[in-house]
Structures are given as C-alpha cells and as structure tokens.
Chain A
Amino acid sequence: MRTRNAVIMVGSALALLLSQAVFAEEGFFSWLGSFSREKEIAPVTDATYNKECGSCHFPFQPGLLPEASWRKLLDAKALSDHFGDNAELDDQTRQKILDVLVADSADKSYRKRSRKIMKSLGEGDAPLRITEIPYIKAKHSEIPENLVKGNPKVKGLSFCNKCHQKAADGVYDDDTVRIPGKS
C-alpha cells in the first residue's frame, strides 16, 4: 500500500512538472490559476496592423510565426518586394506594426497552437511563409489539391479565412472548418 501511494504521489508530481514544462514561459502558478481559454492563437486587435496589412490580405495573427520571421518580413527592404508586391510603409508605421507582431509572436505566446508551431520548427528557424511551417503543413497534408489551389473560392492555403470560419478570432480548430465548394 505504501509503495502504491508513493507511486501515486510521484506520478502526480511528475504530471504537474510536465505540465509546468509545457507552460514554462507563462509561469506555472499564473497559468494554473487562470480560467481563460488559451487554446488557439491570440487574436490581433491593433487597428494599424489590421488596416495596413489587412487591406491586402488576411491579417495573420502574430502567434503564427516566430519573432525572427516577423523581423525579416517587416524589414524595410523586404517590404519593397513582399512576395512580389510593393508593401512599403513609412518607418513609424512599420515600427508600430513590427512591435505589435513581435509582442505576440509564436515564440512568446503560451497559446497551444503557437506552441505547436514553435515545437515543429528547428532551432533558429525563421520561415517567411506560414504555409512553410512543418506543423501547418502536416495539418493540411491530407487536403486534396483541388479543394485548395484548384478551388477558385479558396485559391491557396494562405487564405486562411476562406475555410477557417473563425480565423479572424484566432480560432483554427477542426470544428470551424468549412471548405467552400468549387463552382
């Protein structure tokens, strides 16, 4: 009986330690005491970011890429050729947007999906495309091409909100997926 109780105690301690390792950055006790749901990606509410970036494409949440990626993307020179388009911004706006993105980047977030993104990347990896992240690639690997690239209502994986109906809220779970039909 004593042995079994000892095993239970050690097991419980290990369970708590393991969960602490999962959320090490946030602080174990603040995490344990928090009742807010932090499963998905932190939504982005900054008006400047939504206006400047969201006017051309879906405003991807900062928690979808690590800080190093955002720094590369928001580099003044890089913005002049932003995936084939000129997306130059004045220095003040660019710095403001960079600050927003860096503050909630995937490597700083304890949200589950951001953590999954970071765990799938190698040390120092800084992909420029969200669709290059191994976790994102794996999650979409079984979707037939004709439903994404070959689907005029979707066009590509970078149009997150076409299928993820709550993408704007940072919710990317399976329950909120609806792939538009192909006409």
Chain B
Amino acid sequence: MPISVRSILGGTAFAMSLPFLASAAHAADDQPTYDLKSAYENSIVIAQAEAAAAVGKQGGTAEMETPFEESAFTANKIHKYLGIGSLGLVGLALLAPKEDGNSLHHNLAIGAATLGVGAVATGLTFHYKDLNFKRLTDPDTVHALLGTLAAACFLAAVSEAPESGHPALGIAGTVFMLTAVKVTW
C-alpha cells in the first residue's frame, strides 16, 4: 500500500474519532452518561436522565438552569472544521513549491485529502438523515454530493501525482469543495 494512501486512511480514522472524543470529553463534565452521539441526541439523553433522577427524588426537582453555552467541539462543528481545514490545506498546497518526492506540496495535499475524506465520513455519519436523494436540489444533498466528489478528486490527485494530469484533479476538487461549503454556509 503506498505511503500516501496509508497516511490518508490513518488521518481519516483519526478525523472520524474526533467527534467521539469530543463526546467523551463532555461525558466527563456532565453527570448524566453521554452516548457517542450528536449534541442534539445527547440533549435527549440528558433530559431523560434528569427526568429519571426527578422521579427518584421525593418532592425534589432536577433543575438544569445553568446558562446555555455552545460547545466548540460537537460532531457538527468537527465536520465543519474538517471541510474548511481541507480547503485551507489545499490552498496552501497550491501555493507551495511544486517539487517531486516528499515535498511540502505533497504533504499538504495528503493532509487536504485526509481532512476532505474525514469531512465526508463525519458528514455522512452525523447528517445522513438530512439528505434527500429524491430531490437533488436539496441544499444538504447537493452539499454531500459535491463534498464527496471533492474528496474523491483530492484522493485521485494524490494517487496520480506527480503525473501531469493531477493538477486538474486537484483544482476540480477545490472547486467542488468550495461550492459544497458555500451551498450550506
């Protein structure tokens, strides 16, 4: 297996684990046990746990009146960071000197592909219910299709490099990813 493919697979596995790590980190902060789910689903879990706790108390209440603070690390946000991060890295790869071998350009491109695949994987995992393949003009569906195309182009560009065709794939992937982000921005 080529080293770039191994790097991308490893990086994607790490990217996929980020939402779960974030969820586990929250679990340490809150008394109710968190499952490895989105913030929304976790909210349901917490409310159920509180309801159960209230039943257990005689005449007591299970209040949760602390001010709401939005977490910086949720499944949604990690998906967003991965997608925007892949765009950032591909932008840097375009600017980096184009040298053969294990160059900065090559490593940035591998990073972009990794984050792109991670963004697609987290998006499909946490937002598959938002997709509607009966209506292809649905913004979330268009976002998913373009994001997947972008990641595929990044992967193809990395695997074909340094052949002369790979810049076209990289640029096409950038256009797809930019449009994917913009559609749901």
Q: Interface residues, chain A, CB within 8 Å of chain B?
A: 1, 4-5, 8, 11-12, 15-16, 18-19, 21-23, 31-32, 37-39, 112, 115-116, 119, 138, 142-144, 146-147, 151, 163, 165-166, 173-183
**B139 contacts A by Cβ under 8 Å:** yes
Chain A residues lying within 8 Å of B140, measured Cβ to Cβ, are 112, 116
Known: A5-B165, A39-B184, A119-B135. A179 touches B44 (CB 8 A): yes
Nearest B residue to A21 via CB reads B137
A sample of 11 more A-B contacts (CB under 8 A), given A5-B165, A119-B132, is A5-B168, A19-B146, A112-B140, A116-B140, A119-B135, A151-B47, A174-B74, A175-B40, A176-B68, A178-B46, A183-B62
**Pairwise interchain contact A175-B70, C-beta atoms closer than 8 A:** yes
**Pairwise interchain contact A163-B43, C-beta atoms closer than 8 A:** yes
Nearest A residue to B129 via CB reads A138
**B39 contacts A by Cβ under 8 Å:** yes
Q: Interface residues, chain B, CB within 8 Å of chain A?
A: 38-40, 43-44, 46-48, 50-51, 53-54, 61-64, 68, 70-71, 74, 76-77, 129, 132, 135-140, 142, 145-146, 149, 153, 164-165, 168-169, 172, 175-176, 179, 182-185
State in angstroms the CA–CA spacing of A165 and B64 once bound together.
13
**Pairwise interchain contact A15-B149, C-beta atoms closer than 8 A:** yes
**Pairwise interchain contact A116-B139, C-beta atoms closer than 8 A:** yes
State in angstroms the CA–CA spacing of A61 and B40 once bound together.
21
**Pairwise interchain contact A37-B185, C-beta atoms closer than 8 A:** yes
Known: A163-B43, A174-B39. A181 touches B63 (CB 8 A): yes
**Pairwise interchain contact B39-A175, C-beta atoms closer than 8 A:** yes
State in angstroms the CA–CA spacing of A25 and B4 once bound together.
43
Nearest A residue to B72 via CB reads A175
State in angstroms the CA–CA spacing of A179 and B182 once bound together.
30
Q: List 29 A-B contacts (CB under 8 A).
A: A4-B165, A11-B149, A11-B176, A18-B136, A19-B146, A19-B183, A21-B137, A22-B137, A22-B139, A22-B142, A22-B183, A23-B183, A32-B182, A39-B184, A112-B139, A116-B138, A116-B140, A138-B129, A144-B44, A151-B51, A174-B76, A175-B74, A176-B70, A178-B43, A178-B68, A181-B53, A181-B62, A183-B61, A183-B62
**Pairwise interchain contact A180-B77, C-beta atoms closer than 8 A:** no
**Pairwise interchain contact B176-A12, C-beta atoms closer than 8 A:** yes
Nearest B residue to A171 via CB reads B70
**Pairwise interchain contact B44-A143, C-beta atoms closer than 8 A:** yes
Chain B residues lying within 8 Å of A144, measured Cβ to Cβ, are 44, 48
State in angstroms the CA–CA spacing of A177 and B68 once bound together.
9
**Pairwise interchain contact B142-A18, C-beta atoms closer than 8 A:** yes
